[in-house]
Amino acid sequence: MAAEPSTDPLKLFEPREYATEEGEKLKYRLLKPADFDADKKYPLVVFLHGAGERGDDNEAQLVHCMAQFCTAEHRRQYPCYVLAPQCPAGQKWADVDWSVDKPEYPEKISRSLDLTLQVVEAMLADSAVDKNRLYLAGLSMGGYGTWDALARRPDLFAAAIPICGGGSVDTVAAFKDIPLWCFHGASDNVVNVEKSRDMIAALKTAGGEPRYTEYPGVGHDSWTQTFASEETFQWLFAQKRH
């Protein structure tokens, strides 16, 4: 009998490194579509990890949620690229002060998020990526990064899933028409649930129609059950830019 194919993210996600001409580097992992067909275009999911997974081992960013993309069923049902960059220690996806209620958002994009978007642009140029099915998701620090990336590059994304993060309500008009599903635990003691509530309220005021799921009694880890839900995958891969 043939051996069962691996579902281990460390085995399925290829370790890679992106370097600029100036010598800046970003480590990342890439999951490729199963049963790749050169005549097809595939969705690309960009996943931004949380603060605890920063570093340079190019492994920690696979700890949360990435295993769900590696199941045999999901690889068959939703063939796609998954890009999992690793933010270096001491850096953030969005250069904001998490401890304040209304953080100031800098004019300049963070270096790690900028490098991530450079990898995305390179993949759009030379990989079999469907430019109309580019998806963005992130948790905690990555939730902040998701909101920030949407504000800075609303032209790129077909859908987004910000989880237990926060953003600037002043930016929502730029991405109000992008399908978005936000998640947060009502008892989160790390990132106040009001941060997601404020973004959702601002989007609705701007004319957007975001989806919002708040888990009663759940603390900071609102990502595990989000990506354990089949509905999350069905919703995400159904989205397409027109």
Please report whether residue 169 resides in a domain: yes
Task: Concatenate the DSSP letters of all residues of 99-129 into one string.
Answer: TSSSPPPPSSPPHHHHHHHHHHHHHHHHS-E
Q: Mind listing the pLDDT tens digit for each residue in 169-198?
A: 999 999 999 999 999 999 999 999 999 999
Residue 222 to residue 22: CA distance in whole angstroms: 38
The pLDDT value given to residue 120: 98
- The domain that holds 213 is classified in CATH as 3.40.50.1820
Please report whether residue 20 resides in a domain: no
Dihedral of CA 81/83/19/143: which sign?
positive
The pLDDT value given to residue 224: 98
Please report whether residue 111 resides in a domain: yes
Q: Mind listing the pLDDT tens digit for each residue in 129-150?
A: 999 999 999 999 999 999 999 9
Please report whether residue 156 resides in a domain: yes
Instruction: Please report where in the chains the tokens 């199941």 appear, as a residue.
Output: 71
The pLDDT value given to residue 4: 66
The pLDDT value given to residue 101: 79
Please report whether residue 7 resides in a domain: no
The encoded tokens of residue 214 equal 């708040």
Please report whether residue 12 resides in a domain: no
pLDDT beneath 50, residues of the chain:
none
Tally of domains in the chain: 1
Residues of the domain holding 118:
26-238
- Among residues 201, 164, 205, 168, which one has the least CA distance to residue 185? 164
Please report whether residue 5 resides in a domain: no
The pLDDT value given to residue 99: 81
Please report whether residue 199 resides in a domain: yes
The pLDDT value given to residue 1: 53
The pLDDT value given to residue 2: 53
